[in-house]
Structure 1
């Protein structure tokens, strides 16, 4: 904990210049006495921190002092900020920038720590391309050129012109005011407004993008998490969702929940199964999700979905009922 605090102290002095002991204590949430001890520890370690007396005095670093981590580009710094999210760099077109930034981070480590860090990275794997059953993980990505333009508009606060292909419609150009980027379950979304109305665009459906010169019409500050929750609520209330009541084996419950838009109710049953009411985007989504679960789930309602799954299963059983001769070319 103290090592983290010492690093934070140095970064505060780097960013703000001269700061009083009380101001540092407030930022670090420690006592003034603790700050003075930390300053002494940094000085003993060779960090060029010095005190200035007087009414406007405080502590500061020598003007030429800087950390060893240098040369990070804007995109590299941004990639590091989103690296904690699932596939954040890849979803926003920052994959190459993230790789470059991490090389610079490793290069900035003290000599004795580089081998340890390199060995550690070989023992940590996040989000591999397949699961334990060797099923491929589908990643919904936009082309790098498109993602770069969209990201630039979001970061710089300019209007954006996009060539967007909505489901069931021909692609067409739209001019939007970008608010932010969100990635959920490996799918990237652009949150924006168009003519003042809320709009959410899937990044993989943006075929081309162009940053415009005029500034975006958007608030200076935004709570992106709250905006996403509001958009989700609007989507669920859109009137096109399909509600399904279903019994599901406990071993398959999480799989069902992951594919559903929302879970409206969830009750456990004595036999280890659960009875849920969930919603899906449309009939096609509901049909696909329940078919994947096979005998791990039973649709209770609506009747059309039970009939659909029965007919599909019957057709498949008939197809495989009789052995067929293997044909050769």
Structure 2
């Protein structure tokens, strides 16, 4: 791990020029004390790193210094394979490996291409942390050490012991046979079997993980896309799901459909609106989804959902009908 960090440090200095210890620490996700120790180690190894004092000082390499540092390690190569989504790499615990790999890729480019690539990169932004409404988009992530253990078990084909916190349940330990990892809308999942039965675990709910030496019981080859589709279908058609009959303004149809598990029927309604029968995960999910649509949708059935939405609206109206103390 330290060798990879030293390589990244040299590449950062070579590509960006002078950087302070604080800037290097931020890029490498370590403390400034660790950066200073790494600088000392590089100097002892003959790498010409020098320090400039003063307000605009920092660390830099002697002009013209170059050495072969572009070899990718296993995690860096893997990170590039999932680099189509930066958040995907983060969800698999490969965010730092992706940053390190991209440094090496840029460094391997001819000098004339490297400058062009750097200029182009400054004009592209993918998956920013906030949207246009300044809402911070925070992807749930498990600790990096946990994800690393999960990856090792998946790739090696060994059993995996996980400490998992299911919804509304106390965390428990369980041993599973891992099949593969899936990213859906920035959310990571572990596909596995347990005692021969299919199981799907959200990575952000893993509290701890331990790769076991015993080989997992799983097929040599698997179609992850097909496996995910099958599990998604079972999820949509099972459990405590609720069917809801809704009238909706056509302008808000996609907002409704995007929150539902499935659309069963759809037909025109009066006044140019649409009438849909959709399924939600449970009553709470249905109430939340329809509340977002305000007066652009009306739940026609079941009656219990209409009642809960009415009571919620009355409570809001009562609260804002009161005079404010401020």
Structure 1: 5+ residue stretches without partners: 1-67
1:40-51 mapped onto 2 (5 Å cutoff): none
1:177 corresponds in structure 2 to 177
Structure 2: 5+ residue stretches without partners: 1-67
Deviation by residue 1:126-173 (Cα, 9 ceiling, x = unmatched): 222222222232412212111111111111111100001111211110
Displacement of 1:86 after TM fit? 6.5
Give the whole-Å Cα distance in 1 for the aligned partners of 2:100 and 2:203.
24
Q: Which deviates further from its counterpart, 209-218 or 244-253?
A: 244-253
* 8 Å Cα contact 1:86-1:186 kept in structure 2: no
Shift in CA distance, 274/113, structure 1 to aligned 2, threshold 3 Å: farther
Normalising by structure 1, we get a TM-score of 0.74
Question: Aligned-pair RMSD on alpha carbons?
Answer: 1.9
2:20 corresponds in structure 1 to none
Deviation by residue 1:247-267 (Cα, 9 ceiling, x = unmatched): 233333322222222222344
Shift in CA distance, 301/137, structure 1 to aligned 2, threshold 3 Å: farther
Deviation by residue 1:85-119 (Cα, 9 ceiling, x = unmatched): 46210111111111111111111111111122112
* 8 Å Cα contact 2:178-2:193 kept in structure 1: yes
* 8 Å Cα contact 2:247-2:269 kept in structure 1: no
* 8 Å Cα contact 2:82-2:88 kept in structure 1: yes
Residue 112 in 1 paired to residue 112 in 2? yes
* 8 Å Cα contact 2:89-2:95 kept in structure 1: yes
Displacement of 1:175 after TM fit? 0.2
Normalising by structure 2, we get a TM-score of 0.75
1:287 corresponds in structure 2 to 287
1:128-207 mapped onto 2 (5 Å cutoff): 128-207=128-207
Shift in CA distance, 73/267, structure 1 to aligned 2, threshold 3 Å: farther
Query: SS in structure 1 opposite 2:324?
Result: coil
Aligned residues: 259
Give the whole-Å Cα distance in 1 for the aligned partners of 2:202 and 2:180.
12
Give the whole-Å Cα distance in 1 for the aligned partners of 2:230 and 2:145.
29
